[in-house]
Chains A and B, each alone.
Chain A
């Protein structure tokens, strides 16, 4: 098995697992308990919060733990919408967001909110000027993803943030896919909110975080006892939080992504060599996640290519909404012609990928693509 699906979910780093294990069993208490059992748990949560804060370049009290990227995104979109409803009911986002942004926006549309979906160019780039031109007096939030999960294209979030700041509009970025792969420091990105998800950077599934800039208030998504300063109710899952913290610490140390980028480029070069013009790079050539190679096998169906090499694990379209025989929303927004888009396969490498794996994958993918019938 060659795992080239790191954008769907990453293997857990052994260091993360080792950090979590004691909190799955030995340290079992409720962190809210006032007696001795609660103390080490609160310390562990504080440490993890500091680790995440350090990775993001924010202060610890600006980090809220959630059950994952989807919850963080829902929290921001709905939380801002409800908190600022008196100011206005207009939100700007892009047409290539993850369903975890798109669907809360659709929910708000049913409640009478207006959503502007800014398009992208053929490389998947949002034009910040277009974002600026959509701003109205009633705009309360701009949410543009940092890097796209399917093609890896990186958006100019710093520019979008400064546009928002000048207009007095809050800015969120969904960094679930970029965190741990490229720099996601808030002092560089300039955003008011930022989403991360543990299982996208070698941490556990079931936990994520939301950066909320100090002084900005938004409605809680869930109500309950006053956990996490009243922002996110529910007994803290200590082991998951410890795992997220450790993953953040490792991501901060592992800031050199050249290993991953080299493997990705090796994979691309190998496919191009074997298939020539039948392999089309989708997404931006340079402003792209170092680990992501989305290609279209021209004239073929991506799923059929992958069925021809079942040992190579990758996604056709995004994992969260796969299984459909149509252009993904992202590729449609990029206006990728169907003869290329139907053949799209997202190959994503990571920390544990090896050169040998890449070479083996190239051989299998080229063979499978050649054996796949070309339509029309």
Chain B
């Protein structure tokens, strides 16, 4: 099997699996228990918090563990709004992850004014338009760092600075970026950053929210006094420990892995365009996350391509995994104004350090034949 769907989820590191396996056997105490066993488990959580903080360039106190990216995003957006009730405007984009879009829809239904600043064909935001949208009444802006479907990177420092200057709380959805490219929150004028472990070779069911000190956030899950009262519930110790180790490894190997994967992606795109002339790399001129290659195969159906790829034991996806199964073209590509006939045939290939140049060659070499079978089929159907 060739796994080119690393933006959906990544292969957990063997060392992460190992440390979690040990944790599940040994560290069963409740970390809130005051006895020595409970406190030894608490210590493991705090070590992991330091590791996650290091990945983000934050201090440990600014890291809150959650059950994953979706919860982090919900906590960030709702929590910040509830703590800042006088302002009623939210500025975001139409290319956010479904989790953000869905929260926004619900907020719009409850009386918030939600402004979605559009993007161009390359997935970029117009700075002037962004600046105009953010008013003194803007409570919050929520912005992706790396788009999960196209990999396009927003210029977070610049866009966040504009928002922060108007007194808005800035939330960055870095679920897709964290562990892959450097994030130094100290250098960013941002207040909240959402991340998820399973996107960078950690376990599922665990994520974190960076909450800059002095940022007021109302908890969404209340109970015990865990996570500095921002998130109640007995900690998922094994998940937290796994996330900590995944963070440590990601930070340690970041530059090397980024270079290797970037080279693989470069080779993939160059040789694919060479052998399939009608293929188009989405947002090719934008600054993109090195893991991601979104390729539009004009006049073909993504679902059909995926079925044939799957038969050849190649995993990729159309749009994001979270919305797969739907026949609607991706909301991201629609927002970019990509022609529908292209958008319907868009496939996201996403890579990781566990992929090899050999796998790239293999997929590139099987695609022309695979696509020509489909072209014949759809050509026949059209005539």
CB-CB < 8 A to A315: which residues of B?
33-35
Whether, in the assembled complex, B322 has its beta carbon less than 8 Å from a beta carbon of chain A, the answer is yes
Instruction: Kindly specify which of B235-243, B283-291, B358-366 makes contact with the partner chain.
Output: B235-243
The answer to whether B223 and A74 touch across the interface, beta carbons within 8 angstroms, is yes
Whether, in the assembled complex, B256 has its beta carbon less than 8 Å from a beta carbon of chain A, the answer is no
Interface of A toward B, CB cutoff 8 Å: 1, 3, 5, 8-12, 14, 17, 20-21, 24-25, 28-30, 32-38, 67-71, 73-74, 98-100, 103-104, 106-107, 197, 199, 204-207, 221-227, 233-240, 303, 306, 310, 313-316, 319-323
A197 to B223, CA, bound (A): 14
Instruction: Kindly specify which of B64-72, B135-143, B266-274, B368-376 makes contact with the partner chain.
Output: B64-72
Task: Enumerate 20 A-B pairs (CB-CB under 8 Å) in ascending A order.
Answer: A21-B17, A24-B203, A25-B12, A33-B324, A34-B317, A67-B66, A103-B222, A103-B223, A206-B235, A224-B99, A225-B320, A225-B323, A233-B70, A233-B74, A236-B204, A237-B205, A306-B35, A320-B30, A320-B32, A321-B224
Max chain B C-beta neighbours (<10 A), residue from A10, A107, A239, A316:
A239
The 8 Å CB contact of B234, one of A70, A237, A303, is A70
The 8 Å CB contact of B37, one of A3, A71, A73, A107, is A3
Instruction: Kindly specify which of B1-9, B153-161, B179-187 makes contact with the partner chain.
Output: B1-9
Name the distance in Å between A237's Cβ and chain B's nearest Cβ: 3
Assuming the A-B contacts A224-B102, A237-B68, are A204 and B74 also in contact, with contact meaning beta carbons closer than 8 angstroms in the complex? Answer: no
The answer to whether B221 and A221 touch across the interface, beta carbons within 8 angstroms, is yes
Name the distance in Å between A82's Cβ and chain B's nearest Cβ: 10
The answer to whether B70 and A33 touch across the interface, beta carbons within 8 angstroms, is no
Max chain A C-beta neighbours (<10 A), residue from B21, B99, B196, B204:
B204
Assuming the A-B contacts A34-B306, A222-B74, A227-B322, are A74 and B24 also in contact, with contact meaning beta carbons closer than 8 angstroms in the complex? Answer: no
The answer to whether A70 and B70 touch across the interface, beta carbons within 8 angstroms, is no
A68 to B190, CA, bound (A): 30
Which are the 10 A-B pairs with shortest beta-carbon distances?
A: A206-B236, A237-B205, A100-B223, A225-B322, A70-B233, A67-B67, A224-B99, A320-B224, A70-B223, A234-B70
CB-CB < 8 A to B3: which residues of A?
37
The answer to whether B24 and A319 touch across the interface, beta carbons within 8 angstroms, is no
CB-CB < 8 A to A103: which residues of B?
222-223, 232
The 8 Å CB contact of A67, one of B1, B29, B71, is B71
A197 to B306, CA, bound (A): 38
CB-CB < 8 A to A225: which residues of B?
70, 98-99, 102, 320, 322-323
The answer to whether B21 and A310 touch across the interface, beta carbons within 8 angstroms, is no
The 8 Å CB contact of B309, one of A35, A74, A223, A314, is A35
Whether, in the assembled complex, B215 has its beta carbon less than 8 Å from a beta carbon of chain A, the answer is no
Assuming the A-B contacts A5-B29, A33-B317, A206-B205, are A25 and B220 also in contact, with contact meaning beta carbons closer than 8 angstroms in the complex? Answer: no
Assuming the A-B contacts A29-B9, A223-B102, A234-B70, are A20 and B24 also in contact, with contact meaning beta carbons closer than 8 angstroms in the complex? Answer: yes
Max chain B C-beta neighbours (<10 A), residue from A73, A106, A303, A306:
A73
The 8 Å CB contact of A8, one of B38, B68, B74, B220, is B38
CB-CB < 8 A to B276: which residues of A?
none
A226 to B98, CA, bound (A): 9
Whether, in the assembled complex, B340 has its beta carbon less than 8 Å from a beta carbon of chain A, the answer is no
Whether, in the assembled complex, B383 has its beta carbon less than 8 Å from a beta carbon of chain A, the answer is no
The answer to whether B223 and A98 touch across the interface, beta carbons within 8 angstroms, is yes
Name the distance in Å between B320's Cβ and chain A's nearest Cβ: 8
Whether, in the assembled complex, B10 has its beta carbon less than 8 Å from a beta carbon of chain A, the answer is yes
The answer to whether A34 and B70 touch across the interface, beta carbons within 8 angstroms, is no
A227 to B322, CA, bound (A): 8
The answer to whether B36 and A310 touch across the interface, beta carbons within 8 angstroms, is yes
The 8 Å CB contact of B11, one of A28, A199, A238, A240, is A28
The 8 Å CB contact of B1, one of A36, A98, A100, A314, is A36
Name the distance in Å between A20's Cβ and chain B's nearest Cβ: 7
The 8 Å CB contact of B70, one of A74, A224, A313, is A224
The answer to whether B17 and A25 touch across the interface, beta carbons within 8 angstroms, is yes
Whether, in the assembled complex, B225 has its beta carbon less than 8 Å from a beta carbon of chain A, the answer is yes
The answer to whether A99 and B98 touch across the interface, beta carbons within 8 angstroms, is no
Whether, in the assembled complex, B198 has its beta carbon less than 8 Å from a beta carbon of chain A, the answer is yes
Assuming the A-B contacts A9-B234, A70-B234, A239-B204, are A35 and B71 also in contact, with contact meaning beta carbons closer than 8 angstroms in the complex? Answer: no
The 8 Å CB contact of A224, one of B98, B224, B238, is B98
Name the distance in Å between B341's Cβ and chain A's nearest Cβ: 21
Max chain A C-beta neighbours (<10 A), residue from B1, B20, B222, B238:
B222
A98 to B30, CA, bound (A): 15
CB-CB < 8 A to B322: which residues of A?
32, 224-227, 235
A20 to B238, CA, bound (A): 12
The answer to whether B220 and A222 touch across the interface, beta carbons within 8 angstroms, is yes
CB-CB < 8 A to A197: which residues of B?
234
The answer to whether A199 and B68 touch across the interface, beta carbons within 8 angstroms, is no
Whether, in the assembled complex, B28 has its beta carbon less than 8 Å from a beta carbon of chain A, the answer is yes
Whether, in the assembled complex, B195 has its beta carbon less than 8 Å from a beta carbon of chain A, the answer is no
CB-CB < 8 A to B220: which residues of A?
74, 221-222
The answer to whether B21 and A234 touch across the interface, beta carbons within 8 angstroms, is no
Name the distance in Å between B26's Cβ and chain A's nearest Cβ: 9
The answer to whether A239 and B203 touch across the interface, beta carbons within 8 angstroms, is yes
Assuming the A-B contacts A204-B238, A223-B105, are A34 and B24 also in contact, with contact meaning beta carbons closer than 8 angstroms in the complex? Answer: no
Assuming the A-B contacts A100-B223, A235-B9, are A1 and B239 also in contact, with contact meaning beta carbons closer than 8 angstroms in the complex? Answer: no
- CB 8 Å contact bits of B11-22 with A (1 = contact, 0 = none): 110100100110
CB-CB < 8 A to B68: which residues of A?
67, 234-235, 237
Whether, in the assembled complex, B55 has its beta carbon less than 8 Å from a beta carbon of chain A, the answer is no
Whether, in the assembled complex, B321 has its beta carbon less than 8 Å from a beta carbon of chain A, the answer is yes
Within 8 A of A (CB), among B172-222: 196, 198, 203-206, 220-222
Name the distance in Å between A15's Cβ and chain B's nearest Cβ: 12
Q: Closest residue to A34 on the B side, CB-wise?
A: B324
- CB 8 Å contact bits of B247-287 with A (1 = contact, 0 = none): 00000000000000000000000000000000000000000
The answer to whether A8 and B32 touch across the interface, beta carbons within 8 angstroms, is yes
Name the distance in Å between A95's Cβ and chain B's nearest Cβ: 17
CB-CB < 8 A to B320: which residues of A?
225
Assuming the A-B contacts A315-B33, A319-B30, A320-B234, are A70 and B71 also in contact, with contact meaning beta carbons closer than 8 angstroms in the complex? Answer: no
A353 to B321, CA, bound (A): 44
Whether, in the assembled complex, B83 has its beta carbon less than 8 Å from a beta carbon of chain A, the answer is no
The answer to whether B221 and A36 touch across the interface, beta carbons within 8 angstroms, is no
Whether, in the assembled complex, B378 has its beta carbon less than 8 Å from a beta carbon of chain A, the answer is no
Assuming the A-B contacts A104-B222, A237-B68, are A35 and B5 also in contact, with contact meaning beta carbons closer than 8 angstroms in the complex? Answer: yes
CB-CB < 8 A to A30: which residues of B?
5, 8-9, 321
The answer to whether B321 and A205 touch across the interface, beta carbons within 8 angstroms, is no
Assuming the A-B contacts A224-B98, A235-B198, are A35 and B306 also in contact, with contact meaning beta carbons closer than 8 angstroms in the complex? Answer: yes
The answer to whether A67 and B24 touch across the interface, beta carbons within 8 angstroms, is no
The answer to whether A235 and B70 touch across the interface, beta carbons within 8 angstroms, is yes
A360 to B199, CA, bound (A): 47
